[in-house]
Amino acid sequence: MIRIGTAQVWVHDQDEALDFYTKKLGFEVRSDVTVPELGNFRWLTVSPPGQDDVAITLMAIPGPPVMDEATAAQVRELMAKGFAGTVFLTTDDAKASFEELRGRGVEFTEEPEERPYGIDSGFRDPSGNSFRLTQVRSDFS
């Protein structure tokens, strides 16, 4: 059986991201390891409390030799423009989650609104990555 273990998002700055994902979004750190032999590569993963078999790895944009400087600049630029990808989160109570996250300082780009598939809202992480937070209609999935 194949399952999703970890999916990756680029982040502008891992410390800034860690702060946002744990303190504002309320995720927990699943792994935070820096490897000197790999040029201080830092494997940093987080996921929501209660969901410890799936994680997001917050990946710093590498320099050479992993990624040439021009490509790294392109990735940074794409991320800053908001086109580096989206994470689709679900919740059983969109309104409550919205209030909770906003109370912790998450800036929503879209407040919860009724859609045919449920109640949907959206925000960004500090890097510009887009997040959806959706209460999927129970008869829709």
Partner 1 sequence: MASVPPARHLLRAKDLADARYAEPLTVADLARAAGLSKAHFSREFRRAFGESPHAYLLTRRLERAAAMLRTTDRSVADICIAVGLDSIGSFTASFRRMFGRTPTAYRAAFPPAADRALIPACVLRAYGRPQHRTFREDAVLAS
Site residues (CB under 8 A) for partner 1, limited to 16-55:
16
d(CA 34, CA 86): 26
Q: What CA–CA distances, in Å, run from 119 to 25, 43, 134?
A: 18, 33, 6
Please say which residue, 104 or 115, places its beta carbon nearer to partner 1. Answer: 115
CA atoms within 13 A on the CB side of 10: 20
Of 25-33, 43-51, 79-87, 89-97, the window that binds partner 1 (rule: CB under 8 A) is 79-87
Site for partner 1 contains 109 (CB under 8 A): yes
DSSP-assigned letters across all residues of 22-55: IIIS--EEEEEEEEGGGTSEEEEEEE-TT-TT-E
Site for partner 1 contains 79 (CB under 8 A): yes
What x/- string results for residues 4 through 23 when contact with partner 1 is judged by CB under 8 A? --------xx-xx-------
CB 131 within 8 A of CB 56: no
Please say which residue, 83 or 88, places its beta carbon nearer to partner 1. Answer: 83
Give the residue among 32, 28, 129, 141 at the shortest CA–CA distance from 75. 129
* Shortest distance in whole angstroms from residue 80 CB to partner 1: 4
Choose, by CB under 8 A, the member of 33, 81, 103, 105 that binds partner 1: 81
Site for partner 1 contains 110 (CB under 8 A): yes
How many residues touch partner 1 under the rule CB under 8 A: the total is 16
